């Protein structure tokens, strides 16, 4: 019968082996510090760009599911609108609770950096999801689509639909948003390859569909040769679809829009929008949680993770390999 001392040595040896395999159940093996074992029970928060936006809802649902599978204490919230003065207090209040991890989609490339720097220096691991800030020191990982590439895909699709002639306009959210700025860059650079197409000055709608609807109608009045529109995101796409219908121009003016939220899908079916560049917001949410988990577990973390995009048209939208990218309005 081994004595107590040897029993303890045996028990400690067994615990070490189990801990390495992640199957430890030997009392409190958690050292409590930043290197504490695993992602389980880590407090992780997600703050999205706009809470009611199906892109961010789809992202949040997937992040929540992945975090739950890893045993994290996970909650999500989002700004009421695309506005620094609305998102900053939300970020600061979430951070005040000193979470272990924060996934965040900053609505501006620089205005929120002081808050994020403070949060990071207090020990919270930050994952930038979808949008990012210019300061490269912020975030242990950045997960997003290749937005410039998405802009190029939209330009080529639209040029083809316009038979490479006429005027085209870009309507987007507001300057200083990393994702939509990159889409516009990709789009306008690619469109310059089509000499028969004139790119009009970009307009910004502050993520308000009604503004986009009004802007497309005034553009139609000023440019009768308008043949195409690139919508930088969901609300812009929705607004342009409404404006073209009101002007009786649906189908006559071709539209390539980013994203694939329910109303955009309906507009695609109706022929008011012609191409949707869909992202994979669920993949963004899942991969960001996985990168935070890797950090908690002391494993290598990818500084930058690119996710899929797919061009959706009326012709391919019935294919399950395409429709799986449709965004959701709830989990
Ligand atoms: O297009 C997405 C997102 O990628 C972008 O950063 C902001 O707008 C959306 O959320 C769609 O509304």
- Answer CATH for 43-144+280-307 from 3.30.70.3270, 1.10.10.10, 3.40.50.2300, 3.40.50.11260: 3.40.50.2300
Percentage of the residues of the chain whose pLDDT score is greater than 90: 86
Residues 260 and 50: their CA atoms lie apart, in Å, by: 16
- Counting DSSP H helices and E strands in the chain, the numbers are 11, 13
β-pairing, 275-279 vs 309-312, is: antiparallel
pTM: 0.86
pLDDT at position 3 = 43
Q: Quote the CA–CA distance of 162 and 204 in Å, as a whole number.
A: 23
Q: What pLDDT is stored for residue 37 in this prediction? A: 59
Residue 205 near ligand 1, beta carbon < 6 Å: no
Neighbour count for residue 296 (Cβ, 10 Å): 23
Residue bearing the CA closest to ligand 1, atom 6 = 179
| Predicted pLDDT of residue 228 | 97
Q: What confidence tier does 94 reach under pLDDT thresholds 50, 70, 90?
A: confident
CATH 3.40.50.2300 residue ranges for the chain: 43-144+280-307, 147-278
Partners of residue 216 on adjacent β-strands: none
Ligand 1 contacts CB of residue 131 (under 6 A): yes
The CA–CA distances, whole Å, from 271 to 111, 201, 250, 296, 323 equal 39, 25, 7, 47, 17
Q: Is 147-278 a domain of CATH 3.40.50.2300?
A: yes
pLDDT at 181 over 60: yes
Helix (H) or strand (E) holding 312: strand 309-312
Residue 23 has pLDDT above 90, yes or no: no
Nearest residue (CA) to ligand 1, atom 10? 55
pLDDT digits (tens, 9 = 90+) for 195-230: 999 999 999 999 999 999 999 999 999 999 999 999
Residue 82 Cβ contacting ligand 1 at under 6 Å: no
Is the CB of residue 280 below 6 angstroms from any atom belonging to ligand 1? Answer: no
Tens of pLDDT, residues 268-307:
999 999 999 999 999 999 999 999 999 999 999 999 999 9
pLDDT confidence of residue 244: 96
- What tokens does 72 get? 């994290």
User: Hey, which of 48, 258, 276, 284 would you mutate to test ligand 1's pocket, going by the most ligand atoms within 8 Å of its Cβ?
Assistant: 258
Distance 234 CA to ligand 1 centre (A): 7
């Amino acid at each position: 019968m081994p004595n107590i001392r040897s029993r303890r040595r045996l028990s400690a040896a067994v615990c070490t082996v189990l801990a390495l395999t992640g199957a430890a159940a030997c009392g409190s093996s958690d050292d409590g510090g930043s290197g504490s074992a695993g992602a389980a029970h880590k407090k992780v928060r997600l703050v999205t760009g706009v809470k009611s936006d199906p892109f961010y809802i789809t992202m949040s649902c997937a992040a929540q599911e992945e975090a739950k599978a890893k045993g994290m204490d996970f909650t999500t919230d989002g700004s009421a609108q695309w506005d620094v003065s609305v998102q900053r207090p939300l970020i600061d209040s979430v951070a005040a609770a000193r979470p272990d991890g924060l996934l965040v989609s900053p609505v501006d490339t620089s205005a929120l950096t002081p808050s994020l720097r403070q949060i990071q220096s207090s020990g919270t691991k930050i994952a930038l999801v979808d949008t990012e800030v210019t300061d490269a020191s912020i975030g242990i990982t950045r997960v997003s689509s290749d937005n410039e590439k998405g802009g190029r895909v939209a330009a080529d699709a639209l040029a083809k639909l316009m038979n490479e002639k006429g005027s085209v306009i870009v309507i987007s959210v507001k300057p200083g948003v990393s994702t939509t700025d990159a889409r516009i860059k990709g789009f306008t650079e690619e469109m310059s390859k089509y000499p028969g197409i004139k790119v009009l000055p970009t307009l910004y709608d502050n993520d308000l569909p009604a503004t986009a609807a009004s802007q497309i109608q005034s553009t139609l009045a000023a440019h009768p040769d308008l043949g195409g529109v690139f919508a930088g995101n969901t609300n812009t796409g929705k607004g342009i679809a409404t404006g073209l219908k009101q002007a009786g121009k649906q189908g006559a003016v071709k539209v390539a829009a980013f994203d694939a939220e329910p109303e955009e899908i309906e507009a695609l079916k109706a022929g008011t929008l012609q191409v949707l560049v869909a992202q994979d917001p669920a993949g963004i949410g899942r991969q960001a949680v996985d990168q935070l988990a890797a950090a908690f577990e002391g494993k290598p973390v990818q500084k930058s993770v690119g996710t899929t995009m797919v061009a959706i048209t009326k012709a391919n939208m019935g294919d399950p390999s395409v429709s799986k990218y449709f965004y959701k309005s709830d989990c």
